[in-house]
Amino acid sequence: MAKKQLTLKGTVLRVLLYLVVIIVCIITLYPYFAMFCTALKSRAEIFSMNGTILPINAMWSNFIDIWSRAPMANYMLNSLMIAGGSTIIAMLCGIPAAYALARMKFKGQTAFLGFVIVSQMFAPVVLLIGIYKVMSILTLTDSILGLVFINAAFNQAFTIWLLRGTFMGISAEMEQAATIDGCNRIQGMTKVLLPVAAPGIVTTLIFIFINAWNEYTVALCLISTSEKEPLTVGINVFNGYNMIEWQYLFAASLFAIVPVVILFMGIEKNLVSGLASGGVKG
């Protein structure tokens, strides 16, 4: 009897868990569903007093029209260059720094770690004036290269902190064994440590890419030429002074989330293990 009660209790708890998950998924996905439905409507239907969430006559042509009404391909290419370039730079600088903090001991290490954490607390909007002055001195205003450097810099602290936890979760004895076999420190890191730390590295990479892909404020302030605007800034072309073309704005926004969705699908298996390894305390 007691066993049946425990089984019944477990079943009820599992059903409740599934219900909670379903509700959370519905709440999370509903804004995207509303965006998709709005992107299929005409302007008259969007502003209709008797309108519903579902489109009456789906206008799939809206997804095609945005490519002729705005240089969407150019915007997406700019965003890919900014996000990809800043991700590469942040990883190239962050991996050696995280390795040094995880494996080496030096004076001021604790202070340096504190500085890394504090630097992550400053939002780009707080430093906009300083950023603009520095970019002006370096003649990097209104340039994609300037945005690459800025996004790499603002994601550097996150990269170092997460990868340090990942490296500290891996036994140093593996590298010591590689040293006995004739590998130097760099070879031990590249041939032994990095392959084992692949889940954490991939997770860090995807978060850097997403942060750079979604960046808006700095790009809006630094870029003045429409041909150099990233997608987050470029889709403002559908937000006019007199009216907002919601159907085109939402259609363009759906295109903007496609690369992020593809990346998440590609790293789904590594995401949980990477976040767990990055959370190891040092």
Grouped pLDDT means (10 residues each) for the chain, 282 residues: 63 87 92 90 81 82 88 91 94 90 80 78 81 90 92 90 85 76 76 82 87 90 90 86 84 86 70 47 44
**pLDDT value of position 239:** 81
pTM, entire model: 0.82
Q: Which two tokens stand for residue 240?
A: 């006019």
Angle at 68 between CA 62 and CA 69, to 5 degrees: 80
Task: Give dist(CA 98, CA 189) in Å, integer.
Answer: 11
Give strand pairing partners of 239.
Answer: 244
Burial 58-86 (b: 16+ CB within 10 A, else e): ebeebbeebeeebbbebbbebbebbbebb
Q: Which of 233, 215, 206 is nearest to 128 (CA)?
A: 215
CB atoms within 10 A of CB 30: 11
Task: Give dist(CA 236, CA 217) in Å, integer.
Answer: 13
Residue ranges of domains in the chain, CATH in brackets:
71-245+264-278 (1.10.3720.10)
Task: Give dist(CA 4, CA 33) in Å, integer.
Answer: 42
By 3-state DSSP, what share of the chain in percent is helix, strand and coil, each rounded to 5? 75, 0, 20
**pLDDT value of position 184:** 76
3-state secondary structure (DSSP) of residue 69: helix
Ramachandran angles phi, psi of 159, nearest 5°: -60, -50
**pLDDT value of position 270:** 58
